[in-house]
Amino acid sequence: MGQTITQKILARNAGRDRVAPGENIWIDVDTLMTHDVCGPPTIGIFKREFGEDAKVWDPDKLVILPDHYIFTEDPHARRNIDILRDFAAQHDLPHYYDVGTSRYKGVCHVALAEEGFNRPGTVLFGTDSHSCTSGAFGMFSTGVGNTDAALIMGTGKIWVKVPETLRFVFEGTLPPWLMAKDLILSVIGDVGFEGGTYCALEFDGQAVFDLSMEERMTLTNMAIEAGGKNGVIAADEKTFEHVRARTDRPFDPVWSDPDAAWLQERVYDVSNMEPVVAKPHRPDNRATVSEVAGTKLDRAYIGSCTGGKLEDFEAAAKILQGEEVRIDTFVVPASTEVTRQMHERTLNGKTLWQVFVDAGCKMGHASCGACLGGPIDTFGRTQGTEVVISTTNRNFPGRMGSKQSAVYLASPLTVAASAVQGTITDPRTVLA
Amino acid sequence: MDDIIQGKAYVLGDSIDTDQIIPAAHLVYSMTVPDERKQYGRYALSGLPTDQQGLPEGNLPFTPDDMFESEYRIVIAGSNFGCGSSREHAPFSLMVAGAKAVVAQSYARIFYRNAVDGGFIIPFESRLRLVDHIRTGDEIRIDVRAGLLTHVEAGEEWLLNPLGDIADILKAGNVFEYARQAGFMK
């Protein structure tokens, strides 16, 4: 019996030839990532367990990317960034990206890809559930809590249960009105909010390999919304090109064996799929856009690790150019690099940034923004009974701030089309 | 790990996510500085929609306004408890509020792991949907070793799923003690 990508990577980092689903194993970690929300408590536990003057197991493997509560006056949030800064100085950490400096990046999952920390065949743990995003690079990556992160920080090791794999195969050619967000919302709608619990979600098929790395990241990002432990896409030439342009570090990719065992396999023909949303208040509460078209909206939001990448804005700009939004529309680039590119890339002679400004959007700074609500003064945070359509990844009650607000999740194309109309709008009606 | 856990039950529905367990705005507080730490008890389960606060009636806050401790010791929930973010603040906030255990049909992976590795609360699994048999405020006793849950007043008993592999970590206290015993840490 063959092994999946996930099994092979875990086996290698456990120093074994093979591992079976269900086994609990100890593995070596190649990269540990943390941020301003979970970094300070992780550091606190690390010091408690290993000592005030204990050394990080390998400073070159620790990446600290403040990104959550950055543009806020909240004194506790600001104090938390001071804790990261002091810790980075104390340990002379090479991969700390400080707020208020030219090194500041923005959302960790996007920055990890930009800075070359995502490398095929490696193991990454992050103190953030969307750490599964990095699996788009043919690697094992998952989210953990502060305690597990502190254990890694001190030892470089962690225990994991080897997951079963669910395989999703996308065949056919993606029509221009569909994006990776439509595919993953369809998957989550099909398997359910907990349908992938404890499992690896592997995405395969020609339509997946036709996607850019950014779009692949949208697929793996939301593996957690089906309960998945990790999302993974095999590395190909596009992956190698992306990685080699950003790092000289070596990597050793692996691929699933043809006779690997899948717990379940689903095959989709993307040419027959439709734009979809997740209705409030669950990511698996799927409906086709045409089913909910006309729903009145108060606000649109384009941003986050899953919906604030350069290509997300390129897609939205195609619809927003020359138009004016009818509802408050918040634009929050995932990273400072995305912001920079939005000022450089042009569409019919205008920069992407200018397209959004001219359409009447409210422009924010690179960060997690209002994707998870955050402190009261967070840009774009809901404060009342707003009905929002958003490119983000979660729509739980209160997720974007107010418990009374309601959030629809959708692709950047659908969000842009809806922002122009003020109601949920099928992008096919404006992309014709 | 306590041998017996007894106290009032707080009953919830399915897929209680970590934003409902501890809303993101409160994650700014230190988990160690005592004056800040207690805020996690105050805001535990404060993200629940009011009609979902303590089933079946609802409108029963887990921690009363401006208090820092809950009167409930055992959370009873449906499936997929703790889904969503990786915030360890979620099981931590339940512990700070005074809860000792959660009994759910199933858990989201990271919440379950955080509860165990941090040694915050015991996440029991029940095959039966206890949400339909227990009301918020009912007195409940759990015999941890036997894996037996008793409704004190009614005298009804239900067997919980064995804790399995995680019992060793819970017995050790947290993952650090477990790692020391396993030889991965000095």
Whether residues A198 and B20 touch (CB distance < 8 A) is answered with no
Q: Structure tokens of B124?
A: 């029991």
Tell me the pLDDT tens digit for each residue of A238-260: 999 999 999 999 999 999 999 99
Residues of A in contact with B184 (CB under 8 A): 26, 155, 157
A387-390 and A299-303: which strand pairing? parallel
> For residue A374, which residues of chain B lie inside 8 Å, CB to CB?
24-25
Interface of B with A in 146-175 (CB under 8 A): 165, 174-175
Residue of A25, A188, A372 to mutate when probing chain B, most B C-beta within 10 A: A372
Domains A5-249+261-268 and A278-431 share a fold: yes
Residue A119, pLDDT > 80, answer: yes
Mean pLDDT, residues A119-126? 98
What pLDDT is stored for residue A317 in this prediction?
98
Which candidate from A24, A144, A396 shows the least CB-CB separation from B86?
A144
Asked whether the beta carbons of A28 and A123 are under 8 A apart, the reply is yes
Which of the four pLDDT bands, split at 50, 70 and 90, describes residue A431? confident
Query: What are the residue ranges spanned by the domains of chain A?
Result: 5-249+261-268, 278-431
Q: Do residue B23 and residue A398 have CB atoms under 8 angstroms apart?
A: yes
Q: Is the pLDDT of residue B36 over 80?
A: yes
Q: How far apart are CA A344 and CA A290, in angstroms?
A: 35
pLDDT in tens, B141-165: 999 999 999 999 999 999 999 999 8
CB A9 within 8 A of CB A119: no
Determine whether domain A278-431 maps to CATH 3.40.50.1950. Answer: no
Count: domains in chain B: 1
> SS3 for B56?
coil
Please state which architecture CATH assigns to domain A5-249+261-268: 2-Layer Sandwich (3.30)
Instruction: Answer whether residue A42 shows pLDDT above 90.
Output: yes
C-alpha pair distances (Å), B100 with each of A80, A151, B15 = 29, 24, 20
Once rounded to an integer, what is the mean pLDDT over residues A324-341? 98
- B28 and A80 within 8 Å at the Cβ level: the answer is yes
**A126-162 pLDDT per residue, tens:** 999 999 999 999 999 999 999 999 999 999 999 999 9
Question: Per residue in A271-303, pLDDT tens?
Answer: 999 999 999 999 999 999 999 999 999 999 999
Residue of A131, A144, A396 with shortest CB distance to B20? A396
Percent share of chain B, pLDDT over 70: 100
How close A108 gets to chain B, by Cα (Å)? 14
Q: How do residues A74-104 score in pLDDT, each as one tens digit? A: 999 999 999 999 999 999 999 999 999 999 9
The confidence score (pLDDT) of residue B182 equals 84
A375: Cβ contacts below 8 Å, ≥ 6 apart: A69, A72, A73, A74, A77, A381, B25, B28
Phi and psi, residue A238, nearest 5°: -60, -40
- Residues of chain B numbered 74-93 and touching chain A (CB < 8 Å): 79-80, 83-89
Q: Is the pLDDT of residue A376 over 90?
A: yes
Q: What is the CATH number of the domain that holds B50?
A: 3.20.19.10
Give residue A413's pLDDT. 98
pLDDT of residue A432: 64
Q: What is the pLDDT of residue A308?
A: 98
Whether B109 and A49 lie within 8 Å, measured CB to CB: no
Number of inter-chain CB pairs under 8 A, A vs B: 134
Cβ-nearest to A145 among B17, B27, B114: B114
A191-230 pLDDT, tens digit each: 999 999 999 999 999 999 999 999 999 999 999 999 999 9
pLDDT at B183 > cutoff 90: no
Mean pLDDT of A350-378: 98
User: Could you tell me which residues come within 8 angstroms of residue A372 by beta carbon, excluding any fewer than 6 positions away?
Assistant: A68, A394, A399, A400, B19, B24, B85
Q: Does residue B118 belong to the interface with chain A, where contact is any CB pair within 8 Å?
A: yes
Contacts of A84 in chain B (CB under 8 A): none
Residues B102 and B5: beta-carbon distance below 8 Å: no
Find the residue in A nearest to B120 (Cα). Answer: A147
B99: containing domain: 4-182
Position A25 pLDDT exceeds 70? yes
Whether residue A38 and residue B87 make contact (CB cut-off 8 A), yes or no, is yes
Q: How confident is the model at residue B184 (pLDDT cuts 50, 70, 90)?
A: confident
Question: Which tokens is A47 given?
Answer: 């010091």
Residues 9-68 of B with CB under 8 A from A: 15, 17, 19-20, 23-25, 27-32, 36, 47-49
How confident is the model over A381-430, as pLDDT tens digits? 999 999 999 999 999 999 999 999 999 999 999 999 999 999 999 999 99
